[in-house]
Amino acid sequence: MNRKTLILYYSLDGNCKFVADELANNLEGEVDTLRIEPKKDITGGKFKRYFWGGAQVFMKKEPEIKPINLDLDDYANIIIGTPVWAWTFSPPIRSFLNLYPLTDKKIALYSCHGGQLGKTINDMRNYLQNNTIVSEMDFFEPATKDSEVNKKTIAKWAQKLQKVLS
């Protein structure tokens, strides 16, 4: 059985990318990363980005995303990372999960936020009911707040993931 691991994430401010990169550096075996890319990303200052991002959540918008260039059937394990927007997961991740439904995978979830986790993990669990959620983690601005401490936390989480994903 295939044991390849995919770390897929969306990152507007770089926090989820930071975690994805650290996980990829700390996990053993075949690990690939995939950044979910909207065809048109939110631009502008921080307030504008948060306003439009939150509006997308409340309006249940699913932004168009660029096609992926890999076969999800090649991966037994998938780690999904999302920023928290309006107390849930980001619309680009929602678009991905609707375009590419996942089934029978071992899944680990992580979120990055600058405030509260909200219902992010529970909402993602609901989207991923046909899978086994093996681990969850959330990070408070990991790339900018105590990044060295967060690197250690991510390395410890990677050790735990190594056991449950094998």
* Least confident stretch, 56-60, 120-124, 136-140: 56-60
Q: Write out pLDDT tens, residues 31-90.
A: 999 999 988 765 555 554 555 555 555 456 677 899 999 999 999 999 999 999 777 888
Beta bridge partners of 111: 82, 138
Q: How far apart are CA 151 and CA 43, in angstroms?
A: 28
Q: How far apart are CA 70 and CA 90, in angstroms?
A: 22
Residues in contact with 13: Cβ distance below 8 Å, sequence separation at least 6, in sequence order: 83, 143
- Given a contact cutoff of 8 angstroms between Cβ atoms, the answer to whether 120 and 88 are in contact is yes
Query: Residues of the chain with pLDDT > 90: what percent?
Result: 67
Q: How far apart are CA 22 and CA 20, in angstroms?
A: 6
129: left (phi over 0), alpha (psi -120 to 50) or beta: alpha
pTM as predicted: 0.89
- Distance, CA of 142 to chain centre: 13
Please classify residue 132 by burial: count the beta carbons closer than 10 Å to its beta carbon, then call 0-12 exposed, 13-18 middle and 19+ buried: exposed
Alpha helical stretches, state H, 100-146:
120-127
* Mean pLDDT confidence for 90-100: 93
* Mean pLDDT confidence for 103-131: 93
Q: What is the CATH number of domain 5-165?
A: 3.40.50.360
Domain ranges, ordered by start, for the chain: 5-165
Residue 133: strand, helix, or coil: strand
Beta bridge partners of 107: 78, 133
